[in-house]
Amino acid sequence: MTLALLAVQTLNGLQLGVLLFLIAAGLTLVFGVMDFINLAHGVQYMLGAYFAVTFVGLTGSFFAGLALALLAALLAGLLLEFLVFRHLYRRDHLDQVLATFGVILFLNELVKVVWGAAPLHYPIPEMLSGSIVLMDGLLYPVYRLAIIGAGLGVALLLYVLVQKTRTGMRIRAGATHPEVIGALGVNIRRLFMLVFGFGTMLAGFAGIMAGPILSVEPGMGDQLLILAFVVIVIGGIGSIRGAFLGALIVGLIDTLGRSFATDILRLFLTPSAANDIGPALASMLIYVLMAGILFFRPAGLFPAPGR
């Protein structure tokens, strides 16, 4: 283990953390405000990346493609809300899980029909290409730093939106007392559409930003969705602050654990035993952490008020 490797893997963990936050923020808002379990939230991440492939190719510009892909992700999310999800709000959680799992299967097959099953890519924008020197002998890609910066910027924007605006006040009230704000004249259905659409756009943005460094392929959001659920359980359902800190914790522990668990175990075990146990332990770390937090704080680290 070297200092340079530790620095690189820490930055990689932060990058994973901000991508998880972009997914988990929308997921925790939807679950917190609407009490709706949306397993299909991960496909919005996938759709964002596929829309970016299309629009970056059509426009020849990453930033124009990003804007169009964000709009397309928002419209796709609102269409799904109108056609499928709004009919499930009053159903029990088992019905929501089964229905949204069916949406996952349908959309994974749909992207194969439209874009094919082969992995796709689109280029990093020229102005964000290349690397910068972090320390002697250590280069880090500018685009990965841009992902971290974009995620932190969105986190700040969400904080201002949820905590400092009238719309945010309604969202916070809807998460704890939906009947009360409905009685006060707030259109609950419109509020739900706003929350759902904003959440899907955040997930789509995560997919757009990840597309140039990861393969764009069917099912690419499934694993991240599992991690996003871990994030909101650790952080607290309905809490943006909890989603942000939980995402950073999960991103760092998952990345550093996979990088250094075997090396650390070699200090106590034989090399062969460490090689056998290390990868398995690394893949379990975030779930062990989740179990420990649930034992001591069942509502998560930073639960939303009223939960």
pLDDT tens digits, residue range 25-81? Answer: 888 877 776 677 788 888 888 999 999 999 998 988 888 999 999 999 999 988 888
More confident residue, 12 or 303: 12
The helix (run of H) or strand (run of E) holding residue 133 is strand 131-135
Structure tokens at 101: 């799992």
Residue 234 located in a structural domain: yes
Full residue range of the structural domain in which residue 46 is found: 3-296
Q: How far apart are CA 203 and CA 140, in angstroms?
A: 25
Structure tokens at 297: 């704080």
Picking from 219, 146, 155, 210, the residue whose alpha carbon sits closest to that of residue 24 is 155
Residue 262 located in a structural domain: yes
| pLDDT tops 60 at residue 172 | yes
Are the C-beta atoms of residues 7 and 138 closer than 8 Å to each other? yes
pLDDT digits (tens, 9 = 90+) for 263-273: 777 777 777 77
Instruction: Note the pLDDT of residue 51.
Output: 94
- What length does the chain have? 307
Look up the pTM and report it: 0.86
Q: How far apart are CA 99 and CA 40, in angstroms?
A: 9
Residue 301 located in a structural domain: no
- CATH number for 79: 1.10.3470
Helices 142-164 and 166-176: angle between axes, nearest 10 degrees: 80
Residue 37 located in a structural domain: yes
In whole angstroms, what separates CA 142 from the centre of its chain?
Answer: 21
Residue 94 located in a structural domain: yes
Q: State the DSSP string of 192-251.
A: HHHHHHHHHHHHHHHHHHHTTTS-B-TTTTHHHHHHHHHHHHHH-TT-HHHHHHHHHHHH
Q: Please, which residues bridge with residue 140 across strands?
A: 132
Contacts with 5 (C-beta within 8 Å, 6 or more apart), sequence order: 259
Residue 302 located in a structural domain: no
Q: Among 125-134, 198-207, 211-220, 289-298, whose mean pLDDT is lowest?
A: 125-134
- 3-state SS, 250-284, equals HHHHHHHHHHHHHHHHCCCCCHHHHHHHHHHHHHH
Instruction: Note the pLDDT of residue 186.
Output: 66
Domains contained in the chain, number? 1
Considering just the CA atoms, what is the radius of gyration of the chain in Å?
Answer: 20
Residue 303 located in a structural domain: no
Instruction: Note the pLDDT of residue 243.
Output: 86
Q: What is the mean pLDDT of the chain?
A: 83
